[in-house]
Amino acid sequence: RLWAGGVNVNNVFFISALTRILRFFTALSQTAVPQDTLQLETGILAKVKASSKYLLRNKPPCSLIQSLSNVVDDSILEEGAVVFRGYVIAHINTEEPSRHVTSEDLGGRPDEQQDPQVKEVVEQLRKIADSLNRNAELQRLINQVQGNCVQDVFMAVARNIFADGINWGRVVALFHLACKLIHKAITANHLENIQMIISWVLQVIREQVYSWLVAQGGWEGVIRGFSRWRTAAMVASVVLVVAFVYYRKVR
C-alpha cells in the first residue's frame, strides 16, 4: 500500500526506519536477520532504483514517522552512551587502577560492557587514548579548564571539533575531552557533574554526529570501516589542540 502512489522519500524513510528497528530487535535476541526482513530491504532498493520520480502522494502519518525516527535515534544514542562509558572506564582504570570505576558509577547497567561489539569499539578507543595521553600540550590545555566554566568550554570546543567535517578521529577527540573532564570531576569528588558531561556528549552526537553515524552503519560500522587507529589518534590530537586554541582566541 505504501507504494500505491509511487515511490517517495517518505515511503523510503518509513520502511528504512522500520527495517532498522527489525534489525535492532533481532540483534538483541542474537538471532539471524529474518529472511522476510532481507526481502523487504531488497524490495526497497529495487523500488528506489526503478523509480525516476519521487511523488509525494501516499504520505505516512507524520507522527508515525517521528515515532520510528525517535526509536532509531534512541538506539544509536544509547549505544553511544554505552561505548562512551566503556571508554571512560578503560581510561580511568588504566590511569588509576585503585579507583576501579564501573558502568554503574557512570549511570549505566552492570553488564552493558560485556557485549562483544561494544568491547571491540572500546578497544579501538583505548588504543587511541594511549596516544592522546602522551600529548603533553593537549593534557596541559585540558588541565587548565576551570570547574566553573566546564560546560562553556566543552560545548565551544565540541562545536569547533566538528566545524569543518566529521571522521572517526574527531569523534574520538570529543570522547577524550569529555572523558578527561569526567576524570577530573571524579578526582575532585564532584560526582554530580558526571551525568551532566555525559548528557553534553549525547547532545553533540545527536546534533552533529548522528547522521554521519547512520551513514557509516552505526558504531560497529565505523570500526569496520576504519582500521588505522594511529591516524585517528593523530587527527584527534591535532583537532583538540586547535579547537582549544581557537576557543581561547574568541572567548
Per-residue pLDDT tens listing for the chain (251 residues): 444 444 444 444 444 554 455 454 444 444 444 455 445 444 544 443 443 333 334 444 444 334 334 444 578 889 889 999 999 998 888 888 888 889 999 999 999 999 888 888 888 777 777 777 777 776 777 777 766 668 888 888 888 888 888 888 788 888 988 998 999 889 888 888 899 999 999 999 999 999 988 888 888 777 666 555 555 555 665 566 666 665 555 56
Give, to the nearest 10 degrees, the angle between helix 62-95 and helix 9-29: 40
Give, to the nearest 10 degrees, the angle between helix 116-132 and helix 168-187: 80
| Euclidean distance between CA atoms 186 and 198, whole angstroms | 13
Distances (CA, A) of 97 to 13, 90, 131, 169, 191: 46, 10, 19, 26, 18
DSSP state of 58: S
Block residue for cell numbers 587507529: 229
- The cell numbers describing 35, all together, are 529472511
What is the end-to-end Cα distance of the chain in Å, rounded?
Answer: 55
Nearest to 197 by CA among 101, 81, 35: 81
Nearest to 176 by CA among 243, 109, 97: 243
CB distance 26 to 33 below 8 Å: yes
Give strand ranges (E) for 45-87: none
Burial category of 4 from C-beta neighbours within 10 Å (exposed 0-12, middle 13-18, buried 19 and up):
exposed
Residue 1: the pLDDT is 46
> Which amino acid does the sequence have at 154?
F
User: Other CB atoms closer than 10 Å to residue 33's CB: what's the count?
Assistant: 13
Helix (H) or strand (E) holding 53: none
Side-chain half-sphere exposure of 215, counting CA atoms within 13 A: 8
CB distance 123 to 144 below 8 Å: no
Q: What is the pTM of this model?
A: 0.64
Residue 123: the pLDDT is 83
Distances (CA, A) of 211 to 63, 114, 130, 161, 185: 20, 27, 28, 16, 30
Q: Where does residue 93 fall: left (phi above 0), alpha (psi -120 to 50 degrees), or beta otherwise?
A: alpha
> Which amino acid does the sequence have at 24?
F
